[in-house]
Structure 1
Amino acid sequence: MAKYIKISCLGPQPYRIDQAVPYPEAVEMMAAHWQRELDRVLPDRPDLIVVPEACDRPYQHPIEKRNAFYRTRGNRIRDLFAENAKRHQCYITYPAHIEMPDGTWRNSVQLIGRDGEIVGFYHKNHLVPSEQSDGGMTYGQDVPLVETDFGRVAFAICFDLNFEELRLQVEKLQPDLIVFPSMYHGGLMQSYWAYSCRAFFAGAVASLPCTIVSPTGETVATTTNYYHFVTATVNLDSAIIHIDDNGSKFKEIKDRYGTEVKIHDPGLLGSVLLSSESDRFTVQDVIDEFGLVRLSEYFDNCRQHRCTLVHE
């Protein structure tokens, strides 16, 4: 059945606070900044708000001052986000540098649920080396999948997007949505991750375009040079279907279900995005009814066919 989710992405410039400002005051300035930013999209009643990497890092503070700020900050900004999540019944990401109980630091994103509680988190697996050598960060090791009331969520942060081994791990998780808080845009890598993982992609990038990308690698919505926030609705009850061996059934599907099924062809890709727009059946029901094959299964069949002939 149609599974609509409204996603908001925010990409303001990193917030500047004079280094002479006392840390308690600086923390409150940061809190006020982020309340203003959240207020830009909350009227749209989003299901999920995504904000950039290290969202509450004071801009251009040296490391010792930055860490002192963080220790004063504690959970103040996270709690602000949690209060908003609970009040507005939405999920909000909180990407931040956090100090662990053993004194090490992580570049992380915490996902806050509609009740204001933490429902999942991810530690950046692929740091820029200077984050470790100069910033004291420790590499994350796990690649979690978080179950939400709208679907399965996986994460990548900034530099992560460059690493095939991480993408392959995320691909195996079969997420419905990849959340990407970042300082780096990634360009074509956003579309590549979305297509290869068969997932929607929500990227919030500081000072650069924030984008919502479909599983066919197409940009659904983006911020502009005028506005650094964007909201769009996507349907997660979708599947990528290759035209080969499936395309002959598309007319029959449309004849039977009309507007209750959407078959979107992005062109040039050889695949379409099949979506259930109905409250009566899921996209998997349509796949089963018409004997369709999802893209990943189709490619696996092609590999098997090649191996069979090569070894004959």
Structure 2
Amino acid sequence: MKTALLQITSSDDPAENLIMVKRMMAEAASEGAQFILTPEVTNCVSNSTTRQREVLQHEEDDQTLAGLQDQAAALGVWLLIGSLAIKTHDADGRFANRSYMIDPQGQIVARYDKIHMFDVQVTETETFRESKNYRPGEKAVVADTDFGKVGMTVCYDIRFPYLHTALAKAGARVLTVPAAFSPVTGAAHWESLLRARAIETGCWVIAPAQTGEHPKTRGKTRYTYGHSMVVAPWGEVVIDAGTDPGIHFFDLDDSSVTEARRRVPSLTHVRSFQGP
């Protein structure tokens, strides 16, 4: 199955980002892609809570979601919207960081809210507190598609092997890791983490990423690492997209999963054990 990753530099203007992503989807489909993936927070990259409250919407009103559903249907493709920043009806007003699997009829077949929040201090001057504005999800999700089961994760989730093992044990043969990774942690850990998750599970790991300096109308400038990546089930890096925005293609071959798991059937060796 010809698959396309979109590496993009989203601004804090969802309408502008929607135009960009729809254009890239059309180009990818014209090259034969049947499955297209976008990065984390496709609709809005912003460090300003004020700006987010101005432009983000609830799921039922979200123009990015509706527009990308329509585009998937028009092109007849599967689409992973890596994630959208979505308003919720929670009393504390926090948003959801929500990934969507869309079928070729434009219907939502699965939703996943990012479970692990990026609350870290990566340098003396760079601190993230994702849980301040986003509430964590509570449920792991495997999407059923006509090309197999897909385990859905988002960005910081990559650091938690038990989640990916659980998805693979539940039948996932592909793991999606849309991201907006920090340049500091990206340079240190991104490739190693993605390869480890692929090797541990015998899954394809597909990680479309935000990249570069993100245009903004207010708040601190955000920078992301790029290097959208595809790792095959045996651990080989099939794509490293570097740092420029663009579309990257590969063939998603399910037989690679079968072969990797035949050679090292580690999922069948998972055992429960008592803690230390």
State whether TM-score is above 0.5.
yes
Measured in 2, the distance between the counterparts of 1:81 and 1:299 equals: 38
1:68 corresponds to which residue? 54
CA–CA separation in structure 2 for the residues paired with 1:59 and 1:70: 11
Cα displacement string for residues 85-113 of structure 1 (whole angstroms, at most 9, x for unaligned residues): 11111111221111234454211101111
Q: Indicate which of 88, 94, 113 corresponds to 1:123.
A: 113
TM-score when scaled to structure 1?
0.69
- Give me the whole-angstrom Cα distance separating, in 2, the residues matched to 1:112 and 1:169: 22
AA at the equivalent of 1:122 = Y
2-structure distance, mates of 1:198, 1:41? 27
Q: Structure 1 residues 54, 194: closer, same or farther in 2, change over 3 A?
A: same
1:180 aligns to 2:177 (yes or no): yes
Deviations 1:238-271 (A, max 9, x none): 3455xxxxxxxxxxxxxxxxxxxxxxxxxxxxxx
User: How do residues 39-54 of structure 1 correspond to structure 2 at under 5 angstroms?
Assistant: 39-54=26-41
Aligned residues: CA RMSD: 2.5
Q: How does 1:282-293 map to 2 (within 5 A)?
A: none
Q: Which residue of 2 aligns with 1:78?
A: 65
Q: Who is 1:169 aligned against?
A: 166
The equivalent of 1:244 in structure 2 is none
1:145 match: 142
Which residue identity lines up with residue 178 of structure 2 in the other structure? P
Q: Which amino acid aligns with 1:141?
A: E
2:86 corresponds to 1:98: yes
Aligned equivalent of 1:235: 253
Name 2:126's counterpart in structure 1: none
Letter in 1 for 2:151: A
- Say whether the 8 Å CA contact 1:239–1:294 is kept in structure 2: no
Partner Cα distance (2:94, 2:107) in 1:
24
Pick closer, same or farther for the CA change 1:14–1:227 going to 2, 3 Å.
closer
| 2:266 is aligned with 1:300 | no
Q: Which runs of 5+ in 2 are unaligned?
A: 120-128, 212-225, 272-276
Whichever residue aligns with residue 175 of structure 1, its letter is: A
AA aligned to 2:264 is L
Q: Tell me by how many angstroms 1:236 deviates.
A: 0.7
Matched residue type, 1:131: E
Would the alpha carbon gap of residues 145 and 226 (structure 1) be closer, same or farther in structure 2, given more than 3 Å must change? Answer: closer
Structure 1 residue aligned with 2:240:
222
TM-score by length of 2: 0.77
The 1:97–1:28 alpha-carbon spacing in structure 2 relative to 1, beyond 3 Å, is: closer
C-alpha distance in structure 2 between counterparts of 1:221 and 1:59, whole Å: 27
Computing the radius of gyration from Cα coordinates, the structure with the larger value is 1
Instruction: Summarize the Cα distance change of 1:64–1:194 in structure 2 as closer, same or farther, 3 Å threshold.
Output: same
The residue identity in structure 2 corresponding to 1:173 is A
- Paired-residue identity, %: 17
**Residue 162 of structure 1: CA displacement?**
0.9
